[in-house]
């Protein structure tokens, strides 16, 4: 076993409580004593045993993040930003991938829930009542999912989509396609319909499909057939599928068709042409979700709150003037 508080105590010639305090409430310990303890601790290579701490204090010092698919490039930046934030607040972040399947998600949550002080569940597929139940078991915050009585961070695409509409309109586009790849519950369709209608842009909706590259490949042909001059895709991945197929069909982007993605992932920056897309800031998610979670952990009985995450258009090379 590793070195314990007791050995530090005897090395420093104090009691174990004083050593404990030296780590949890240094200001309650005498100047010189503190020095001696810290010195002894470093020399012996002591660091507190988290298991004992948790057992005693009921706090684990870790926050949980459950996401549907870390291979979706939308999530790694969130992971990073949340980890950085958690660490600054003295927490370790435990990230688990639920593989986008309900059964796996249940298992994932079960594996994690007893090891964390609070949980952020992104785009959960679980039924409302299970989430309500879970929220009684652990401080809980939902991402992109609404359940009455549970705090939530919600990504709003409204701002970004409005900017996209303005952008396309300014370039003279009139007829656009939206490739929907959502689960119906959280369809991005409604939001885009409103924004585009407000800017007098005709919108043809395709789908819903799965949000995959192949979906874009398939949809590209339909875009051409619909005589639209611009497409908004469900996300960057789908947009890349569109770009890919358009290129094979010899349809120039943005010369004949403009393409817009959503999420501003690595895929958008590295695409050819680079992809105009709607950015959702990982830092903003981490900050707001992290704060909300921290507050929920601190006071689990406060009323549920809803926090909005904004979005904005990042114009790049895949959009341009409408073809004549």
Partner DNA sequence: ATGAAAGCGCTAACAG
Partner DNA sequence: CTGTTAGCGCTTTCAT
For DNA, the binding residues (CB under 7 A) are 1, 4-6, 13-18, 20-21, 23-24, 27-30, 32-34, 46, 48-49, 52-53, 55-57
CA atoms within 13 A on the CB side of 250: 0
CB 216 within 8 A of CB 239: yes
Q: Is 195 a binder of a copy of itself (CB under 8 A)?
A: no
Cα–Cα distance measured from residue 265 to residue 280, given in angstroms and rounded to the nearest whole number: 9
Structure tokens, 211: 């949000």
Q: What angle do CA 256, 262, 267 make, to 5 degrees?
A: 80
Of 74 and 196, which has the nearer Cβ to a copy of itself? Answer: 74
Look at residue 18 and give the partner it binds from a copy of itself, DNA, none, a contact being a CB closer than 5 to 8 Å depending on partner kind. Answer: DNA
Q: How crowded is residue 183: how many other Cβ atoms within 10 Å of its Cβ? A: 12
| Comparison of 66 and 201: residue with beta carbon closer to a copy of itself | 66
The sheet carrying 151-155 orders its strands as: 92-97, 62-67, 118-122, 140-143, 151-155, 306-309
244 or 312: whose CB is closer to a copy of itself?
A: 244
> Is 92 one of the binding residues for a copy of itself (CB under 8 A)?
yes
Q: 17 or 156, CB closer to DNA?
A: 17
Q: Rank residues 22 and 93 by Cβ distance to a copy of itself and give the closer one.
A: 93
When the beta carbons of 55 and 197 are compared against a copy of itself, the nearer one is: 55
Supply the minimum distance, in Å, between the C-beta of residue 311 and a copy of itself: 20
Question: Is 168:197 a contact under the CB 8 Å cutoff?
Answer: no
Query: Rounded distance, CA 17 to CA 9, Å?
Result: 8
Q: Which residue has 């009985």 as its token pair?
A: 301
Choose, by CB under 8 A, the member of 4, 33, 62, 187 that binds a copy of itself: 62
Nearest approach, Cβ of residue 213 and a copy of itself (Å): 5
Task: Indicate the residue among 90 and 184 with the shorter CB distance to a copy of itself.
Answer: 90
Q: How far is the CB of 169 from a copy of itself (least distance, A)?
A: 27
- Report angle CA 194, 197, 200 to the nearest 5 degrees: 155
Closest contact distance (angstroms) between CB of 53 and DNA is 4
Interface with a copy of itself includes 24 (CB under 8 A)? no
Element counts in the chain: helices (H) and strands (E): 13, 12
- What is the DSSP-derived secondary structure letter of residue 184? G
- Sign (positive or negative) of CA dihedral 157, 79, 87, 149: positive
Q: Which of 10, 17, 47, 89 is in the footprint of a copy of itself by CB under 8 A? A: 47
Residues of this chain, 248-307, that bind a copy of itself according to CB under 8 A: 266-267, 269-274
Residue 95 interacts with which of DNA, a copy of itself, none, CB < 5 to 8 Å by class: a copy of itself
Alpha carbons 91 and 161: distance in angstroms, whole number: 35
Q: Would you count residue 96 as binding a copy of itself (CB under 8 A)? A: yes
Rounded Cα distance between 59 and 21, Å, is 17
Binder of residue 60, out of DNA, a copy of itself, none (CB less than 5 to 8 A by kind): a copy of itself
């Amino acid at each position: 076993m590793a070195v314990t508080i007791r050995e530090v105590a005897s090395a420093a010639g104090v009691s174990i409580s004083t050593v404990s305090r030296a780590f949890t409430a240094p200001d309650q310990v005498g100047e010189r004593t503190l020095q001696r303890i810290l010195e002894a601790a470093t020399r012996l290579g002591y660091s507190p045993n988290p298991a004992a701490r948790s057992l005693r204090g009921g706090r684990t010092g870790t926050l949980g993040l459950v996401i549907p698919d870390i291979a979706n490039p939308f999530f790694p930046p969130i992971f990073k930003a949340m980890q950085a934030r958690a660490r600054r607040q003295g927490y370790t972040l435990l990230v688990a991938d639920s593989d986008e399947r309900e059964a796996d998600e249940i298992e994932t949550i079960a594996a994690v829930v007893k090891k964390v002080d609070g949980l952020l569940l992104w785009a959960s597929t679980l039924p409302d009542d299970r989430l309500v139940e879970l929220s009684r078991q652990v401080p809980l915050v939902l991402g992109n999912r609404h359940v009455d009585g549970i705090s939530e961070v919600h990504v709003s695409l409204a701002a970004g989509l409005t900017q996209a509409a303005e952008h396309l309109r300014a370039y003279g586009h009139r007829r656009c396609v939206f490739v929907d790849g959502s689960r119906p519950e959280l369809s991005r369709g409604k939001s885009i319909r409103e924004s585009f209608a407000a800017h007098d842009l005709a919108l043809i909706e395709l789908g819903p499909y799965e949000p995959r590259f192949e979906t874009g490949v398939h949809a590209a042909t339909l875009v051409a057939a619909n005589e639209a001059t611009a497409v908004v895709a469900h996300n960057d991945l789908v947009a890349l599928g569109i770009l890919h197929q358009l290129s094979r069909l010899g349809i120039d982007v943005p010369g004949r068709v403009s393409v817009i993605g959503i999420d501003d992932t690595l895929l958008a920056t590295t695409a050819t042409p680079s992809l105009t897309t709607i950015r959702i800031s990982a830092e903003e998610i981490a900050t707001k979700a992290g704060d909300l979670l921290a507050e929920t952990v601190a006071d689990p009985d406060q009323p549920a709150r809803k926090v909005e995450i904004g979005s904005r258009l990042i114009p790049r090379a895949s959009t341009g003037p409408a073809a004549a």
